[in-house]
Amino acid sequence: MLKEYFGVLLFAGVAAIIPLAVFAVSYLLSTKKDTPEKGLAYECGMDTRGETWVQFKSGYFLYALIFVVFDVETVFLYPWAVKFGQLGLFAFVEMLIFIAILLIGYWYAWKEQVFRWK
Amino acid sequence: MNFNLLSTEIATALFGSVLLILSLVTGKDARRGLGHATLAGLLVLLLITFTQYGINSGGFSGTWILDDYAVFMKQVFIIAAILVVFAGKSYVEDFTGNCNEFYVLMVFALLGMMGMASAGDLITLYVSLETMTISFYILVAYNLTSGKSAEAGLKYLILGALSSAVILYGMSLVYGAAGTTLFAKMPPVSVASPVLLLGAVMLVAGFGFKIAAVPFHMWSPDIYEGAPTPVTAFLAVASKAAGFAAMLRVFLGGTPVAPDNWLGIIAVLAAITMIIGNLVAIPQTGIKRMLAYSSIAQAGYILVGLMAADPAGVNGVLFYSMIYAVANVGAFAVVIAVERATGSDEIAVFGGLWQRQPLLASVMTVCLLSLAGIPPMAGFVGKFLLFSAIMDQGIYWPAFIGFVMSMISVYYYLRVALVIWRDEPKDPAPIAVESGMRLAVMAALAVTVVLGVYPAVLSDLSLAAAKSFFGM
Amino acid sequence: MNFSPIAIALLAPIVGAMLLIFIPKDERRLIRWIAAFSMGIALLLSLAAYFMYDFVKGGFQYTISIPWVKELGITLALGADGLSLPMLLLTNLIGFSAIFASWNIDKRTKEFFILLLLLIAGVMGTFVSLDLFVFFLFYEVVVIPIYIMVIIWGSSKRVTKEYAGMKLTIYLLIGSAFLLVGLVALYLNAYPAGQRTFLMSALAQASFSESFQIYCFALLAFGFGSLLSMFPFHSWSPDGYAGAPTAVSMIHAGVLKKIGGYGLLRIGVLTLPLGAKFWAPVIALLAVGNVAYAGFIALAQKDLKYVVGYSSVSHMGYVLIGLAAMNVIGVNGAVANMFAHGVMSALFFAMIGWVYERTHTRWIPDLGGLGHQMPRVATGMLLAGMAGLGLPGLVSFVPEFTIFIGSFAAYPVLAVLAIAGVVITALYTLRVLANVLFGPRRAEFDDLQDIKGPEMVPLVVLGAVLILAGMFPWYLMDMVNAGVQPIVDTVLAKVSQMTALGGGVK
């Protein structure tokens, strides 16, 4: 039993050594020159101006949430539409219920003024 | 496809949607009516569940099981919800802003719990669990004006998500080892592989979070304290019962892990939960924190029933869940009333409650005694069923710890009774009890006493349910 | 169903308590009289039951049996035999007196009498129930009223009443937790699933293995022993009595403790004879600890209630050693002594209650010469004290004498040590009586009133029993013997049979 687990330990050890070794090698071989460009975030869009810890408007998240819900809906709708011919009436009713549930949510969001950007 | 198996859930989902629509079309001044509508709907749901006894079959490729066990558990959830709404209606209506979603979320949480009781496979179980938990994330943070409530909501979100992740990981390991997610199809294995064991351990840890068993209990006192009191009551009672309902399904309904492999963990969990929950409850000065620790200890008692892993044990779990739900909601109802009147949840504000409102004082005393397991309250019969199940297998020590710790728990329960009955009130003004609250506490009182003296009413039902769980 | 006086006696205080709920709390006179009236009925009925007992028939009489929870085998079974009838009578005598001893309670009178009646009903229920579950139910019902009564109406002298109440409650509850494990183990091991029952008579016929008996009896002995204030689990008792109001002290010392002895005999010894046989020497040893240790501590006490508290712990030693003798004479003496001690300690506590109410102190050095101002209280105290040290002609002489004969046959050395304890008892009792009642007349007590009217009831009732049972001991001893003889015979038969089969019993 213990012998079997030794393999796991060995594996973990090797797994730890490899990245350390890579870092070490690159540290030893690389030339070190600091420029202001290097301190910037790598490929993360525009350079930021001012304080970066700002609060986002909560409306943004609500907006995104509604978008994701309908995004996912299309994921379900697409295969359903492709196989619609074979699925028959039951699947049709089922999808109507599914859409109805989402519509209630949509109605709710609308009524709660999620889409109004204040 | 037999949709009758799903009728309670379909009704609940429809009811939740209708409530949501109602809250949209009626506008914000019609809140009171919404509370009444919720109550009416919940009562109808309770009636529907009574038609479901005796069906005892599974469906939807085995992912759904509707046995008497599931029906009984669903009734526990619904009854808890009804009592909470009765008791908490005015409390909720005191909230500033929009409280319409409160009831809607409660109904959806209920839907999740029902799914947990009926789940026949890991996926249904997980989806139901998340339905319940996500509803609770919002409910816990519902009091927008209170910083404590927001803090509790955030903590619950983070820790709840963590525990869900642990459960999911455990499930994936179990699936990997067993090759199926269906409980019924999982082959019994006498010697478990390490993967399976790891999966089982993760499941125990994850469910340990949901039922707040020591050492996974850290979240519960903060969250119980911060959440709006009706939510705390619902969380402490229904969510915990749902956790047990699911845990029984996973561990007794057919994990490939043989009992020898997880019983030890459960036994240790039960023992330390009973001991630590009770001991830490002693120094608490806030009633909600005290009840939080007490409900941790209660989870320990119920775990002993799971340990027994036979119909008698499941019978104990079912019976005790119902008794615990009623007594705990009764106690929380009194906390709600007193908190509304005094604005504080310190134990000290209960001083002289017997003068201000004798009904609340009596209900609190009876409910606490029932939680402590003092006869002739129903809690005693519940503990008797739980502990005799394990003693019947020749294992005495859990029952021993359980009985001794429950006698120690009398210490902190009686301290509340002492403050209620001995002290003179600081403010002698009587506390008003409106009709809904009166109904809730009277019901809790009646059930706790009647089932204590005549338990057969419920134990017949719970025994039948326990037998159905094992297909007997 | 036939007429059962004991069932009605049990119902009387419960009905009384329910009536009281609907009486406005300002009607103090009415409240007191209702309580007294319901206890009067209970007392008359229990007297009737006692003297109507059919010795020829023997066994349990006035039985009632109603199935309660069928699948668990719980039956609401009531009945009384020669063992329970003296205890039942004792409960009602003391209960009736306790109502009058609390006659002057003016703080929340209504709640006090409701709780007192419930307490008495609970104690009575334990003595007449034939079902283990019901027995335990009644026993636990007793604990909570006591707690509430101590914390509301108790007194904080040496220890605060909160401390005393909580200590008493926790001790009793922890003891009951052990008891509960033992009882459930008994229930589960007696019969296979499906035929299980809590009926004591059925459990007594079941056969248990020797190791189980030893193990289970230890649990029961711990539970019942801590209730009986067996050394070294006695420390709740003096503190509890000191903190409790008079009526609770009376009932607690008088009858509640006796549930321990009663249960030990009825459940422990009868169902687990081998366990009892195994542990008897240990119990006898602890009993001597009770007698000597508590006696010496009583010598050093300056608070009246503490003296009586420790003296009652000391007296329980006699009961225990009598039980441990496990022969008919010893057990007879033990049971009779429970009755005797109950009457005597209740009278003592009642009298202390009057002294405390009038002088507002229980501190012995502050008291003196009370015989001049309060001759009636002095009479009561003197009677109780003399009974305590076993004066011939009073109730406790015959029982104590019987205990010594019985225990001498089984444990000569321990019995002699216990008898020597009587000397200590005499020392502290006489010292207390001399310091409190006799001596020169003190001017500061001159305006104190002696007890009169309803306040006299405890003195008359309990004093009369003290003397009558002393003069006519056979009324008590015959009854006790009718209960004890069959039990001890069964036990001895079982033990010898088991010894013959197994041969492993020392």
Length of chain A: 118
Is the CB of residue B376 less than 8 Å away from at least one CB of chain C?
yes
Helix (H, G, I), strand (E, B) or coil at C411: coil
Task: Mark whether B and C touch (3+ CB pairs within 8 Å).
Answer: yes
Contact C184 B460 (CB under 8 A): no
A15-32 residues labelled b (16+ CB within 10 A) or e (exposed): eeeeeeeeeeeeeeeeee
Is the CB of residue B403 less than 8 Å away from at least one CB of chain C?
yes
pLDDT of residue B394: 83
Domain coverage including residue B355: 259-472
Largest CA distance in chain C: 74
Contact B418 C162 (CB under 8 A): yes
Subunits touching A (CB < 8 Å, at least 3 pairs)? B
C54 pLDDT exceeds 50?
A: yes
Q: In a mutagenesis test of the C interface, which of B403, B406, B453 is the best target, namely the one with the most C β-carbons within 10 Å?
A: B403
Is the CB of residue B319 less than 8 Å away from at least one CB of chain C?
no
Mean pLDDT of A18-37: 87
Mean pLDDT of A88-104: 88
Contact A108 B24 (CB under 8 A): yes
Q: Is residue B454 part of a domain?
A: yes
Task: Mark whether B and A touch (3+ CB pairs within 8 Å).
Answer: yes
From CA C111, how far away is CA C331, in angstroms rounded? 39
> Which of B86-100, B293-307, C461-475 shows the lowest per-residue confidence on average (mean pLDDT)?
B86-100
Q: Is residue B456 part of a domain?
A: yes
Which residues in chain C have their CB less than 8 angstroms from residue B408's CB? 170, 174
Give the minimum alpha-carbon distance from C188 to chain B in angstroms, rounded to a whole number: 6
Contact C188 B392 (CB under 8 A): yes
Give the minimum alpha-carbon distance from A5 to chain B in angstroms, rounded to a whole number: 10
Contact B17 A104 (CB under 8 A): yes
How many interface pairs between B and C have CB atoms less than 8 angstroms apart?
Answer: 72
Is the CB of residue A3 less than 8 Å away from at least one CB of chain B?
no
Is the CB of residue B17 less than 8 Å away from at least one CB of chain A?
yes
Residue corresponding to tokens 């057919």: B254
- Find, in chain B, the residue whose alpha carbon is nearest to that of C184: B388
Which residues in chain B have their CB less than 8 angstroms from residue C193's CB? 392
Contact B411 C144 (CB under 8 A): no
pLDDT confidence band for B4 (50 / 70 / 90)? confident
From CA A110, how far away is CA B21, in angstroms rounded? 12
Cα–Cα separations (whole angstroms), residue C400 to B164, B365, C283, C313, C339: 69, 43, 18, 15, 11
- Assess contact for C100 and C380: CB atoms under 8 A: no
Is the CB of residue B157 less than 8 Å away from at least one CB of chain A?
no
Q: What is the pLDDT of residues B253-271, one digit of tens each?
A: 765 456 666 788 888 999 9
pLDDT of residue B301: 93
pLDDT confidence band for B98 (50 / 70 / 90)? low
Is the CB of residue A110 less than 8 Å away from at least one CB of chain B?
no
Which parts of B343-357 fold into alpha helices (H)? 353-356
Is the CB of residue A24 less than 8 Å away from at least one CB of chain B?
no
Contact A101 B17 (CB under 8 A): yes
Q: Is residue B340 part of a domain?
A: yes
Q: What is the pLDDT of residues C21-36, one digit of tens each?
A: 888 878 888 888 888 8
Measure CB to CB from residue C174 to each of B369, B388, B404 and give the nearest one.
B404
- The first and second tokens of residue B436, run together, are 């809904």
Q: In a mutagenesis test of the C interface, which of B407, B411, B418, B461 is the best target, namely the one with the most C β-carbons within 10 Å?
A: B407
Best CA proximity match to C136, nearest among C15, C40, C224, C246:
C224
Mean pLDDT of C246-271: 88
* pTM > 0.80: yes
C213 pLDDT exceeds 70?
A: yes
Q: Is residue B22 part of a domain?
A: no
Q: What is the pLDDT of residues B289-337, one digit of tens each?
A: 999 999 999 999 999 998 888 888 999 999 999 999 999 999 999 999 9
Contact C193 B392 (CB under 8 A): yes
Mean pLDDT of B120-132: 93
From CA C466, how far away is CA C469, in angstroms rounded? 6
Helix B240-252 to helix B287-308 angle (10° resolution) is 20
Residue C269's contacts (CB-CB under 8 Å, 6 or more residues apart) are C276, C323, C326, C487, C491
pLDDT of residue C503: 42
Q: Is residue B329 part of a domain?
A: yes
Which residues in chain B have their CB less than 8 angstroms from residue A104's CB? 17, 20-21
DSSP element (H, E) containing B50? helix B31-50
Is the CB of residue B24 less than 8 Å away from at least one CB of chain A?
yes
Is the CB of residue B418 less than 8 Å away from at least one CB of chain C?
yes
Is the CB of residue B472 less than 8 Å away from at least one CB of chain A?
no
From CA C404, how far away is CA C325, in angstroms rounded? 10
Share of chain C above pLDDT 70, in %: 97
The total of structural domains in chain B comes to 1
C101 pLDDT exceeds 80?
A: yes
Contact B403 C177 (CB under 8 A): yes
Q: Is the peptide bond before C232 cis (omega within 30 degrees of 0)?
A: yes
Q: In a mutagenesis test of the B interface, which of C14, C108, C151, C173 is the best target, namely the one with the most B β-carbons within 10 Å?
A: C173
pLDDT of residue C505: 41
Contact B24 A111 (CB under 8 A): yes
- The first and second tokens of residue C191, run together, are 């019969």
pLDDT of residue B180: 84
Q: Is residue B18 part of a domain?
A: no
pLDDT of residue C446: 80
Q: Among the ranges C169-173, C198-202, C311-315, which has the highest mean pLDDT value? A: C311-315
Is the CB of residue A16 less than 8 Å away from at least one CB of chain B?
no
Which residues in chain B have their CB less than 8 angstroms from residue A111's CB? 24
pLDDT confidence band for B164 (50 / 70 / 90)? very high
Q: Is residue B323 part of a domain?
A: yes
- The first and second tokens of residue C87, run together, are 């205890």
Q: What is the pLDDT of residues B38-78, one digit of tens each?
A: 999 999 999 999 988 888 888 888 889 999 999 999 999 99
Which residues in chain C have their CB less than 8 angstroms from residue B414's CB? 147, 166, 169
Subunits touching B (CB < 8 Å, at least 3 pairs)? A, C
Provide DSSP, A68-101.
Answer: HHHHHHHHHHHHHHHTHHHHHHHHHHHHHHHHHH
Q: In a mutagenesis test of the B interface, which of C162, C180, C236 is the best target, namely the one with the most B β-carbons within 10 Å?
A: C180
- Assess contact for B9 and B79: CB atoms under 8 A: no
pLDDT of residue B145: 83
Query: Which residues on adjacent β-strands are paired with residue B66?
Result: B57
- Find, in chain B, the residue whose alpha carbon is nearest to that of A100: B17
- Assess contact for C325 and C405: CB atoms under 8 A: no
DSSP element (H, E) containing C355? helix C328-359
pLDDT of residue B78: 95
C287 pLDDT exceeds 50?
A: yes
Higher pLDDT, B70 or C451: B70
Is residue A54 packed enough to be buried (19+ CB in 10 Å), middle (13-18) or exposed (0-12)? exposed
- Find, in chain B, the residue whose alpha carbon is nearest to that of C140: B375
Best CA proximity match to C116, nearest among C129, C98, C132:
C98
Q: Is residue B194 part of a domain?
A: no
Is the CB of residue A101 less than 8 Å away from at least one CB of chain B?
yes
pLDDT confidence band for C502 (50 / 70 / 90)? very low
Share of chain B above pLDDT 70, in %: 95
Mean pLDDT of B410-431: 84
Give the minimum alpha-carbon distance from A108 to chain B in angstroms, rounded to a whole number: 7
